[in-house]
Amino acid sequence: MPDKAFHYDVTIVPDRPKKFYRQAFDVFRTQYLKNAIAAFDGRKSCYAVDKLTTPIDGKVEVIDRYGRTVHYTITIKETDNSIVDLSSLRSYMKDKIYDKPMRAMQCLEVVLAEPCNKNAIRAGRSFFMKSGNGPPVELRDGYEALVGLYQSFVLGDKPFVNVDVSHKSFPMSMPVIDYMVNHNRIRMDDIRSGNCNNNLRDVLSFLKDINIVYEPPKSFASTPRAYKVNGFSQQPPKMLKFESDGKVITVEEYFASRGYKLQYPNLYCLHVGPPAKNIYLPVELCRIEEGQALNRKDGANQVSAMIKFAATSTNVRKQKIMDLLKHFNHNADPSVSRFGIRITNDFITVASRLLMAPQLEYNGKNFQSPSNGSWYMNRCQFLKTHEKQHKWSIMDCDKSRIQYGKLEELASLVLQQSRNVNVRLEAKPDIRKFRDERHLDEQFKDLKSKNFDLVFVIIPNFGPQYEVIKQKAELQYGLLTQCIKQNSIERRLNAQLVDNVLLKVNSKLNGINHKIKDDPRIMLANVMYLGADVTHPSPDQRDIPSVVGVAGSHDPYGASYNMQYRLQTSGTGGAREEIEDMESIVTEHLRVYKQYRGTYPEHIIYYRDGVSDGQFMKIENIEIRAIEVACRKLQNNYTPKICCVIVVKRHHTRFFPVTAPHPRNKFNNVDPGTIIDRTIVHPNEMQFFMVSHQSIQGTAKPTRYNVIKNTGNLDIDLLQQLTYNLCHLFPRCNRSVSYPAPAYLAHLAAARGRVYIFNARLTRSLKEEYQKRLIVPAFLKSNPMYFV
């Protein structure tokens, strides 16, 4: 690799369509740069090892796949700071440079993408194959799964290329009529008669912002053209009029005048192209364009089908990656070669350590030892339960039509299993029905007035849903609810289901299911565990705010938590990853901690989820500073020791054991408790990977932990074991989860905040909207873990 490269600005006019930029740059490189080797990022930057003669501009033309010619003018000039120091990639590990050599990494990522851009569809850092070996994998609802190669540049003891297999849903290429018939179950008779025109909402939810290809009839003698879909017309072609050659005619008459008779003159047209222009096309002449990487959230059907397709053993995943690397053949690309890079043909082998799983303590000094990431209670009782007999009810919706005997069976099972774990419930629940939302209100009001402690609500398949129930119970009445789906009652009502529900119920009733057995080597006295997460809406969900969730512990074991949520700005260019209101949130968590413990914590261990590498400094400068300010304002000279650990799940590092698969481990994953903190982590940062769970299906995803603040100088070994222990304290299951309970509970807190704004039209400021959705204060105080 040479010591330096040159960075150039690329300006392309007009700025649309962008999808031909690479093609245009390649033509420009051949015609004006004498075939010089230059790696282009597809937007506005290119990199070259050999200095180019600039500035230079020129006109080029490219022909799209439908035979249409597109013209561009391209200008290349040096950037203000044009020399990229590639030698920094040789020295960062020796020179103790704490700022990563970002410019050199960006340059090499563009270079490594060159061989992939030529024959793949790009989405983020992944490159998806346009055609696979076998038939497409359908995901239902008009989508198919494509397999791609993820690649990025990472810094360990030396620079590495991180490669992985990616899976993404793409709309299937097909005539729009076929989509309507096969995926929306619209009958051909209704398409011919136009009886489906008032029911095209589902079709539009799929087609909106998708590119379709308009294929003119042969009599038009013109080439196909791609357009973006805006919606449907208000009238069918036989009524929809426009002006042509000075005459006002219908769309149907226009096509007839040019030798084509429309097959479906009663079906609304597609409104396409710039929204301000009235371009309407008959649906029968449109097909969905292939290879579109959409920025939208997958539906439940697609997610379920994708998991089944993508979940493979480590051996299969590794082979998929090797096949993709062979296909893209980086080492044969002239740009990769000219930059002096060569990718080896196998993965790096790293040393790992295995942490001991903690012993879990239940009531009466009974201990259980996890095996392979899970454990059974084996007739143990919960560590702590509330002493009072709880008044409880079961509520079911008339629309579910569940037989009364089934509700009595649920009541009997709940009583029987609750005695086993020492959760005290009154011998007879109040079993009630509700008709609709209004009647649900009346029932909640009555239950609250009669001081019921807990209400099991069966969520009907059709009727008031989870979000409505939680909004009413927690924001209006302050009533503790435990929801169970109608399908669960009808299909799998048994002792195991009820046992799993009781794990949540005990936590909600201020109990503690279990704790980690005391170990003086890793005990921290007087510590508050904080977890924080920010959930953002998907790119197609405009006008929905981001939701902040922060969970804070208030017991000696890191098992009991309270939550705070907030709404903050989202949307294009406005989404903020850092938490704006951290000071007031932490103030409240410290107040609750002191209320329970009689003192403020000496240590605050803060697990921050959902942050990308580029945001670490912002978290330190904004959120940690806000925590420090909150502490100082509560009490003079109160400065607890703060350790901030960033929890990173969105990465593509995977571990493939070199040993043969064990019969009990069919996916051949590494064991829970596996730690890797050498070789592939940055030598100048406190960083480690951990697999703390047993993957139920597919290859286990390790969690990466970055320690960005550690004022108490906690030892890395202590932090690793402490983090692993906290993965065993998630109250919903008797399994070790993939990241620590404080961060997991913060995710649940943010999810509950999203429930509170479900289906709401947010017209005021977010602070006002939040004030309208405050959790009933007395309820928040009496049942702080209601949100699990």
Domain boundaries, the chain: 1-85, 176-288, 385-508, 515-652+703-782
CATH 3.30.300 fits 1-85, yes or no: no
How high is the pLDDT of residue 297? 86
Question: Is the pLDDT assigned to residue 759 strictly greater than 80?
Answer: yes
661 — pLDDT class (breaks 50, 70, 90): confident
Q: Angle 553-382-788 (CA atoms, 0-180°, nearest 5)?
A: 45
How many whole angstroms separate alpha carbon 647 and alpha carbon 719?
Answer: 13
Which whole number is the average pLDDT over 288-313? 91
Query: What superfamily in CATH does domain 176-288 come from?
Result: paz domain (2.170.260.10)
Q: Scanning the structure block, which residue is given the tokens 């399994």?
A: 735
How high is the pLDDT of residue 98? 55
Q: Are 513 and 503 in contact (CB under 8 A)?
A: yes
H or E segment at 214?
A: strand 211-214
How high is the pLDDT of residue 764? 87
Question: Per residue in 107-127, pLDDT tens?
Answer: 999 999 999 998 899 999 999
How high is the pLDDT of residue 252? 96
How many whole angstroms separate alpha carbon 32 and alpha carbon 41?
Answer: 18
> Sign of the CA dihedral 292, 293, 294, 297?
positive
Question: Per residue in 707-732, pLDDT tens?
Answer: 999 999 999 999 999 999 999 999 99
Q: Are 114 and 31 in contact (CB under 8 A)?
A: no
**38: its two tokens:** 């230059």
How many whole angstroms separate alpha carbon 776 and alpha carbon 774?
Answer: 6
Q: Are 108 and 34 in contact (CB under 8 A)?
A: no
| Cβ atoms < 10 Å from Cβ of 749 | 27
Q: Scanning the structure block, which residue is given the tokens 């079911």?
A: 396
Lowest mean pLDDT among 36-50, 568-582, 655-669, 703-717: 568-582
How high is the pLDDT of residue 99? 66
How high is the pLDDT of residue 131? 60
133 — pLDDT class (breaks 50, 70, 90): low
Q: What percent of the chain has pLDDT over 70?
A: 98
How high is the pLDDT of residue 109? 96
Q: For 433-459, b where at least 16 C-beta lie within 10 A, e where not — what string?
A: bbeeeeebeebbeebbeeebbbbbbbb
592 — pLDDT class (breaks 50, 70, 90): very high
Q: Scanning the structure block, which residue is given the tokens 């180019």?
A: 52
CATH code for the structural domain at 385-508: 3.40.50.2300
How high is the pLDDT of residue 264? 96
How high is the pLDDT of residue 321? 95
Which whole number is the average pLDDT over 312-317? 92
Length of the chain: 788
Residue 89 sits at φ, ψ, to 5 deg, of -75, -10
How high is the pLDDT of residue 455? 98
Question: Is the pLDDT assigned to residue 244 strictly greater than 90?
Answer: no
DSSP structure class, residue 418: H
Strands 561-568 and 641-648: unpaired
How many whole angstroms separate alpha carbon 47 and alpha carbon 8?
Answer: 6
Question: Per residue in 75-99, pLDDT tens?
Answer: 999 999 999 999 999 988 876 555 6
pLDDT higher for 269 or 68?
A: 269
Residues 6+ apart with CB under 8 A from 295: 538, 539, 540
How high is the pLDDT of residue 134? 62
Q: Are 360 and 375 in contact (CB under 8 A)?
A: yes
Question: Per residue in 422-461, pLDDT tens?
Answer: 999 999 999 999 999 999 999 999 999 999 999 999 999 8
How high is the pLDDT of residue 16? 83
CATH topology of domain 515-652+703-782: Nucleotidyltransferase; domain 5 (3.30.420)
Q: Are 48 and 79 in contact (CB under 8 A)?
A: no
Please state, rounded to an integer, the average pLDDT across all residues of the chain: 93
H or E segment at 269?
A: none
How high is the pLDDT of residue 543? 78
Question: Per residue in 522-553, pLDDT tens?
Answer: 888 899 999 999 998 877 677 789 999 999 99
Q: How many CA atoms lie within 13 A of 319 on its CB side?
A: 4
**411: its two tokens:** 């009541």
